[in-house]
Amino acid sequence: MMSEFQEVSKQSGVHPKPAGLVFQYGTAGFRTNAKLLDHIMFRMGLLATLRSKTTKATIGVMVTASHNPEEDNGVKLVDPMGEMVSPTWEVYATQLANAEQEDLLAALKDIIEKEAVNMSQEAKVFVGKDTRGSSARLSQAVLDGVSALGGHSKDYGLVTTPQLHYMVCCQNTQGKYGEATVEGYYKKLSQAFIKLSKNASNCTDDQKHLSVDGANGIGALKVREMESHLKKELHISLFNDGSEGKLNHQCGADFVKVQQKPPTGMEINPGERCCSFDGDADRIVYYYSDSEGTFHLLDGDKVATLISTFLKELLTSAGLDLKIAVVQTAYANGSSTNYLENTMKVIVRCTKTGVKHLHHAAQEFDIGVYFEANGHGTVLFSKAAEEKIQQLAENSSLIDEKKRAALLLQNTINVINQTVGDAISDMLLIEAILAIKGMTIHQWDAIYTDLPNRQLKVKVSDCRVIDTTDAERRAVSPAGLQEAIDTLVKKYRKARSFVRPSGTEDVVRVYAEAETQDSADDLAHEVSLAVYRLAGGVGGEPKPLH
């Protein structure tokens, strides 16, 4: 035991922690300026090794800061089935990251004791990185951490975040989920996509064309690598491919969603399908401009609606009685919820904001579709659902329509990365669905029309005075706030509003939607005033938008 810790001590000296620096492991792991991360990377290598020993499985460590600016970096841990690391270990991550240099061994021993880690158990850690300039150096620090505790590591080099999640899942299912190589990932997804595309009647080359904004990041590199596998079933024009532009600068899913305009460096012709990945390719949004030149964004709600509608129709054709649900947050547009519940008769479940809440809720159904409005999401199939679909697809006595639907479902399962939101996988699925249904992007957009909405922030002295319930849709404290919101909402048609504390700063986030943009703006402002007055606003009173 002691000799192992000697190596940790020695290596830790090479990756020292600046005194007094404090970080919190959040939804996205650790994220900050790359210059401050060296000690954290080394320590996450240590932690992943311990996690591997306790789970007797391979653990993943991804070096990325997703949609943050180029000068930042970050790190996320991946649990055995390709999911986010468990909450208890998020706490350990924070403790280990913040232990001062001389307290590191004590903090490490504390985790080993609490988890009764068998230190002689073999450990295996998969490491991946994005294209940032700092990623090579930082991923090396992770590898140093793994070897300092005698763990084995596999360095996947440049991969998208979802690809690393996929590798970890493949490895721990002994290859049942797929082959744990980048090549294996391309093969599985492309073959499923090609089989799906064969069900599209006479698709022209024009209809097979898609413009992709790679955010000058890892997604662009990987789309390039995969293209040859797609056998011309999809014609991709790649923009912001990283050859000259800066990562996430005026491009990428986040930029497009927030700015409501196409990325820099992309020429878009009216009616043409376009999509943007974020920096580590785990989010995707679609968009187009119409004949008037107006920009239209299709966000995560529109994606979830397209996918769940397609799946629901296939289940009906296949005669399969499986429960399908769409999981949303309070930010999902009211029109999408209304369409899903009332027109499509799909179960809609609302959860707190944050991918882990959505993922967890989606696991409660035979098929769970979840997407955040920002374009991060996927589809989960229960073991039982996969088996039923498999049996049906292999049943030789079936009539044509049922058989076709079962095979389509089977290929749909194979094109989806169920471990985590994956821009490449989601792109292939959306493209296949549009081709099979013979739908243009404009027709997809027209399934329902978003209610106008407005999001505002109110600065408060302590955002913890706001406490919510009902998946953040209602405020329980401070006293009188929810009643005030209810009264204001009644003034407008088709209106809805909620407030929630920010997870990262002392601000309260306000969301409002209504029949017209003016109404949504007015309601958002009035609710902001109520928050300011009842929840200890700081600075000047919120000003009206008009």
| Sequence-distant (≥ 6) Cβ neighbours of residue 5 within 8 angstroms | 105, 108
Q: Which of 290, 180, 196, 275 shows the shortest CA–CA distance to 237?
A: 275
In whole angstroms, how large is the CA radius of gyration of the chain? 24
Q: Is 103 annotated as a binding residue?
A: no
Largest CA distance in the chain: 72
Q: Is 342 annotated as a binding residue?
A: no
Q: Is 502 annotated as a binding residue?
A: yes
Q: Which of 401, 412, 387, 304 shows the shortest CA–CA distance to 348?
A: 304
Q: Which of 197, 188, 201 shows the shortest CA–CA distance to 229?
A: 188
Residue with tokens 């005194």, as numbered in its chain? 19
Strand order of the sheet with strand 496-501? 453-459, 507-513, 496-501
Q: Is 262 annotated as a binding residue?
A: no
Distance in angstroms (rounded) separating the CA atoms of residues 464 and 452: 29
| Sequence-distant (≥ 6) Cβ neighbours of residue 497 within 8 angstroms | 485, 488, 489, 510, 511, 512, 513, 523, 524, 527
CB atoms within 10 A of CB 224: 14
DSSP string, 88-115: HHHHHHHHHHHS-GGGHHHHHHHHHHHT
Q: Which of 323, 277, 297 shows the shortest CA–CA distance to 428?
A: 277
Q: Is 18 annotated as a binding residue?
A: no
**Which amino acid is present at 144?**
D
Q: Is 394 annotated as a binding residue?
A: no
Q: Is 477 assigned a catalytic role?
A: no
Q: Is 484 in a helix, a strand, or coil?
A: helix
Q: Is 241 annotated as a binding residue?
A: no
Phi, psi dihedral angles at 203 (to 5 degrees): -80, 125
41 contacts 145 by C-beta, under 8 angstroms: yes
Q: Is 473 annotated as a binding residue?
A: no
Q: Is 504 annotated as a binding residue?
A: yes
Give start and end residues of each alpha helix (H) in 285-377.
300-318, 334-338, 355-362
Q: Which of 166, 173, 185 shows the shortest CA–CA distance to 229?
A: 185
Strands 324-329, 347-351: parallel, antiparallel or unpaired by DSSP? parallel
Residue with tokens 């974020």, as numbered in its chain? 278
CB atoms within 10 A of CB 525: 20
- Among the listed residues 12, 52, 66, 519, the single catalytic one is 66
Distance in angstroms (rounded) separating the CA atoms of residues 415 and 408: 11
Strand partners of residue 499: 510
CB atoms within 10 A of CB 3: 7
Strand partners of residue 76: 62
DSSP string, 143-184: HHHHHHTT-EEEEEEE--HHHHHHHHHHHHTTTSS--SSHHH
CB atoms within 10 A of CB 249: 15
- Which residues are annotated as part of the binding site? 66, 278, 280, 282, 372-374, 500-504, 509
- Which residues are annotated as part of the binding site for Mg(2+)? 66, 278, 280, 282
Catalytic (active-site) positions:
66
- Which residues are annotated as part of the binding site for substrate? 372-374, 500-504, 509
